[in-house]
Amino acid sequence: MNWNLVVTLFFVGSCLVYGKKSEPNQTPDWAKKDIRDYSDADLERLYDQWEEDEEDPLEPHALPEPTSPPPPIDLSNMDMSDPEGLLKMSKKGKTVMMFATVSGEPSRQETEQITGLWQSSLMNSHLITERFVVGDNRAIFMFKDGSHAWEAKDFLIQQDRCLEVTIENKPYPGKGRIGREEL
């Protein structure tokens, strides 16, 4: 075994164990150096400092979605003859996925462009959605607030290249289906 390696490891280990920790409001000399001048020991101290700060709270954007129950549904003001309205209200605050099919025989790139335009239009109407192209002519639009999916559906079925929109396993024919024999 190489004795130089053993001595070096012993020295580094004892520096880590017996090294003086700086006061909370006092910056140590090694931390004032330019980062390009850091030695391996300085980098190790920096790594240890990061590990100590691991218990800091996460930024708000990094937190997971809240798991609180959705707001209660007030059925007294609902029109019971409108099942779509009831479904829309029941999905408020829940994540809903909507499938959209592009008419014709588009390439995947063309589907990316068309659905990207649809997504931009929805975002301009304050309907926040994420889009995932899952096939040559199919995309998923995901809404964090599921009640927005039906407003988006109303927009999408009016688009010339929209063959069909599906929400909660219910298909809605689009303007692109007119004159086509597809079902």
Does 62 map to a domain?
A: no
pLDDT in tens, the chain (183 residues): 566 666 676 666 666 655 555 555 677 666 677 778 888 888 888 788 777 766 666 666 666 666 556 666 666 776 777 777 777 777 887 889 999 999 999 999 999 999 999 999 999 999 999 999 999 999 999 998 888 999 999 999 999 999 999 998 899 999 888 655 444
98 and 47 in one domain? no
Structural domain including 7 reads 3-55
Whether 149 contacts 172, CB under 8 Å: no
94 and 152 in one domain? yes
What Rg do the C-alpha atoms of the chain give, in angstroms? 29
Does 121 map to a domain?
A: yes
36 vs 7: CA distance, rounded Å: 26
108 and 170 in one domain? yes
Number of domains forming the structure of the chain: 2
108 and 50 in one domain? no
In b/e form, how buried is each residue of 28-44, taking b as 16+ CB within 10 angstroms?
eeeeeeeeeeeeeebee
For the full predicted model, state whether its pTM sits above 0.85: no
21 and 100 in one domain? no
Does 68 map to a domain?
A: no
Q: What's the number of CA atoms in the CB half-sphere (13 Å) around residue 148? A: 18
